[in-house]
């Protein structure tokens, strides 16, 4: 078995993390990170990592499942880009940095960033991302990566194919290695986007599995006849992270939505 100890001093030196909180067990790393971020004097960047997460959440409150001792982390940063609202630019930047880190550590891996918040390999979900804006101009990046376990361990009826690194590459990936590869990339990418907003689209392009494909994006509430559906060829993203769809009504730039039908979502996993 590959060792999976986490060295806070090494993270500070190699990943630039000022505060590291390591929990054996937590209901949600997002909850702990939110409480930490509420103190304006708390030093950033800050990472909250749990060996076991009991009540992790995905988008729209969906419950988040992943194998024990996989990477369950919430990273607290000052918001350098994106303005005052949660925008797809944040989740996509996180996804791009995470995919690049995974490829650097496992060169045979071919991850794709599924707009707006997942990492997939051959259509199966390897990682999920949840971004939340909090008071004081801070942003929390919730990241869950299936670095351990097997897809066969997932609860029955999960509704989406799950991928794990042991299934894909034959062994687990130490969280220390992934943190050291991922966090500096995210910090670098956010700084680059702040200087040149076109950076995100350029870095995302080779990692997008949707460009050129017909897609359906679900928007709006389920009640009142169901969510709005927008269908057409995907043209990639714009500089703000919005998904660009070529429809009969013209090109639409979507900042929100889901590639998973909310009416069919299983609330035992983070949705896409």
Q: Is the pLDDT of residue 64 over 80?
A: no
Q: What is the pLDDT of residue 244?
A: 96
Q: Is the pLDDT of residue 176 over 90?
A: yes
For 131, residues 6+ apart whose C-beta sits below 8 A from its C-beta are 86, 90, 91, 94, 117, 139, 140, 141, 142
Q: What is the pLDDT of residue 265?
A: 41
Query: Could you tell me which residue, 164 or 64, shows the higher pLDDT?
Result: 164
Q: Is the pLDDT of residue 262 over 60?
A: no
Q: Where are the beta strands (DSSP E) in 98-257?
A: 112-114, 118-121, 124-134, 138-145, 214-219, 228-237, 243-247, 250-254
Q: What is the pLDDT of residue 250?
A: 93
| Structural domains of the chain sorted by starting position, each given as residue range(s) with its CATH number in brackets | 8-206 (3.30.930.10), 211-264 (2.30.30)
Q: Is the pLDDT of residue 233 over 70?
A: yes
Confidence class of residue 32 from pLDDT cuts 50, 70 and 90?
very high
* Residue 177: closest CA among 101, 269, 241, 110: 101
Section 219-231 average pLDDT: 64
Q: Is the pLDDT of residue 223 over 50?
A: no
- Percentage of the residues of the chain whose pLDDT score is greater than 90: 68
Q: What is the pLDDT of residues 80-133, one digit of tens each?
A: 655 556 678 999 999 999 999 999 999 999 999 999 899 999 999 999 999 999
Confidence class of residue 205 from pLDDT cuts 50, 70 and 90?
very high
What's the mean per-residue pLDDT of the chain? 87
Confidence class of residue 6 from pLDDT cuts 50, 70 and 90?
very high
């Amino acid at each position: 078995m590959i060792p999976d100890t986490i060295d806070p001093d090494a993270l500070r030196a190699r990943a630039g993390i000022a505060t590291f909180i390591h929990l054996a067990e937590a209901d949600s790393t997002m909850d702990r990170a939110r409480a930490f971020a509420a103190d304006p004097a708390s030093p950033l960047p800050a990472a909250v990592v749990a060996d076991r997460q009991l009540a992790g959440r995905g988008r729209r409150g969906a419950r988040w499942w992943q194998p024990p001792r996989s990477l369950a982390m919430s990273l607290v940063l000052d918001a350098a880009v994106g303005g005052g609202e949660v925008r797809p630019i944040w989740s996509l930047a996180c996804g791009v940095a995470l995919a690049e880190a995974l490829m650097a550590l496992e060169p045979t891996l071919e991850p794709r960033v599924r707009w707006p918040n997942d990492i997939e390999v051959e259509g199966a979900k390897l990682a999920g991302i949840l971004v939340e804006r909090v008071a004081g101009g801070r942003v929390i990046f919730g990241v869950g990566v299936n670095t351990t376990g097997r897809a066969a361990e997932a609860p029955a009826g999960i509704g989406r194919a799950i991928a794990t690194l042991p299934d894909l590459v034959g062994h687990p990936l130490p969280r220390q290695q992934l943190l050291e590869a991922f966090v500096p990339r995210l910090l670098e990418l956010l700084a680059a986007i702040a200087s040149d907003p076109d950076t995100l689209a350029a870095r995302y392009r080779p990692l997008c599995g949707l460009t050129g494909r017909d897609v359906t994006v679900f928007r709006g509430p389920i009640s009142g006849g169901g969510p709005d559906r927008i269908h057409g060829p995907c043209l990639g993203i714009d500089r703000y992270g919005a998904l660009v769809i070529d429809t009969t009504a013209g090109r639409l730039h979507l900042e929100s939505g889901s590639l998973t039908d909310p009416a069919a979502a299983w609330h035992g996993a983070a949705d896409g």
